Amino acid sequence: MTNAMNDATTLKDALALYGGAKAKPTPNHPMFPGGLEVGDEERQLVLEVLASRHLFRYYGPAMGIAAHVSKVEQFETEFREKIGVNHALAVNSCTSGLITCLIACGVGPGCEVIVPAYTFFATCSAVVAVGAVPRICDVDDTLTMDPTALEKLITPRTRAIIPVHMRGAPCDMDPILAIARTHGLKVIEDVAQACGGAYKGRRLGAIGDCAAFSLQYHKIITSGEGGVVTTNDPDLYERALWVHDAAACWRPNRFASAAQPNQIFCGYNFRMAELTGAVALAQVRKLEGLLARMREHKARILGQIRDLPGLEFRRLTDPAGDTAIALFFYLADPRLARRFGEAIKAEGLPGGSAFDQDIPDWHIYYHWDQIMQKASPFADGFPYTYHEKLTGVPLQYSKTSCPQCNDLLSRAITIDIAPRLTSEDCNLIARGIRKVAAALL
């Protein structure tokens, strides 16, 4: 017993947390997968736009010149083909993309939209922006929307579900779609963090009624800011066009009368600029290479740590469809996870614990104070007060309403998988995890 205790003490002393040498002394790459790949291809396409002075997709100095092709239009075409959908619409952010999807689907004041407890706050912001209210759904061990919890949240005012393919991994779309069909609900995929991922042979963003992607700088491919709406439904696409462009520049005759009721309505300006489109076009051509590298790195790390006792790996609904931007595993309890997270950071690894109640993180519903407090920019508290007036029931939000989310994330360790990792980096990450596990588990 004494020898075992001495061995454990020696292992702990070897941790960088207690003064030992780092398992990974090499620097980590920032988690900007596409951003760090910006190079000659983006530069050339941007220069072409500048040379043409055609900064707006619908008109400019090159107007009427047959050879001119909008970079935004080119991007939409290549993105549509990449995802495998009939329509792709470039917008200026994923949030505006979600707003576009919601309005296109007929969601507005008095409606409810179900969102997962683990997603960036913008998913909720989009719902509130259209005058609807979010219902927050718990997650399961995939860290995506739990279909069982989802069905319990549906009310007569529910109009849409937004499953989020969180941290690069696909939701379990089959049961979500089945629930939606049963209740006549629209499914809007949030693919902000999983561009290029797939579920059972179909690319994410081609499965629901429509979808929104992000091209913000943290995302797999990026144009700094930007987004895309995808759909296979021609009517939703036309409504999305109206939402994203109040000027109706996309119409052959901007001032033509409506061909059917509710075809023409007031929209916004969510259009993508040509310079942004040029960068996005270069980036979409790099998507497959980025995914291949991240998947290779993740497989290398996993192959060296799968046998460790005490690690429960995140369940993937489709391992082949995972974009591999992150590796998650669960430990026995939150206290151990916090210690483990501190230890791997000290070892120089690109990761740590996924959730701490004392550290604000707008990716976790627990920290969505704007929702918890039903904060509104309007004096009358719209849209929450309007919903309560319609239903006669006060809206209740609580930091404990999604216990599975709180439990899973508080026990989770996450490791970023950057495309620029080398094989040696991957080996050092695996070595660091094994080192910490030997000392703490």
C-alpha 403/C-alpha 328 separation (Å) is 19
Site of tokens 């052959």: 252
CA torsion 17-23-27-32 (nearest 10°) is: -90
C-alpha 431/C-alpha 419 separation (Å) is 19
**Is the distance from CB of 56 to CB of 273 less than 8 angstroms?**
yes
Of 158, 153, 150, 162, the C-alpha closest to 187 is: 162
- In the annotation, is 219 catalytic? yes
Token pair in block for residue 375: 């904060």
C-alpha 30/C-alpha 218 separation (Å) is 9
Please return the burial class of 423, using the count of CB atoms within 10 Å of its CB with bins 0-12, 13-18 and 19+. Answer: exposed
C-alpha 243/C-alpha 248 separation (Å) is 9
Q: Are strands 210-214 and 186-190 parallel, antiparallel or unpaired?
A: parallel
3-state secondary structure of 237: helix
**Is the distance from CB of 195 to CB of 169 less than 8 angstroms?**
no
C-alpha 348/C-alpha 328 separation (Å) is 17
Of 219, 286, 298, 374, which one is the catalytic site residue? 219
DSSP 8-state symbol, 252: S
Site of tokens 């991957």: 426
3-state secondary structure of 264: coil
C-alpha 398/C-alpha 308 separation (Å) is 36
Catalytic residues: 219
